[in-house]
Amino acid sequence: MSKCRVAMITGGGRGIGKGMAMALSSAGYDVAIVSRSNGFSARLEIEFAKQNLSKPLCLEADVTDYPAMQIAVKRVQEYFGGLDVVCANAGIFPSASLEELTPETLDDIFAINVKGTIFTVQAALPMLKKSSAGRVIITSSITGPITGFPGWSHYGATKAAQLGFMRSAALELAPYGVSVNAILPGNIMTEGLAAMGTDYVARMTKSIPMKRLGEVADIGALVVFLASERAGYITGQGIVVDGGQILPESLEPME
Which sequence positions are flagged as catalytic? 155
Q: How far apart are CA 235 and CA 233, in angstroms?
A: 6
Q: What DSSP letter does each residue of the chain carry, written as one string? A: ---S-EEEEETTTSHHHHHHHHHHHHTT-EEEEEESSTT-HHHHHHHHHHTTPPPPEEEE--TT-HHHHHHHHHHHHHHHS---EEEE---------TTT--HHHHHHHHIIIIIHHHHHHHHHHHHHHHSTT-EEEEE--SBTTTB--TT-HHHHHHHHHHHHHHHHHHHHHGGGT-EEEEEEE--B--HHHHTT-HHHHHHHHHT-TTSS-B-HHHHHHHHHHHHSGGGTT--S-EEEESTTTT--S--GGG-
Q: Which residues contact 105 (CB under 8 A, 6 or more apart)?
A: 94, 96, 154
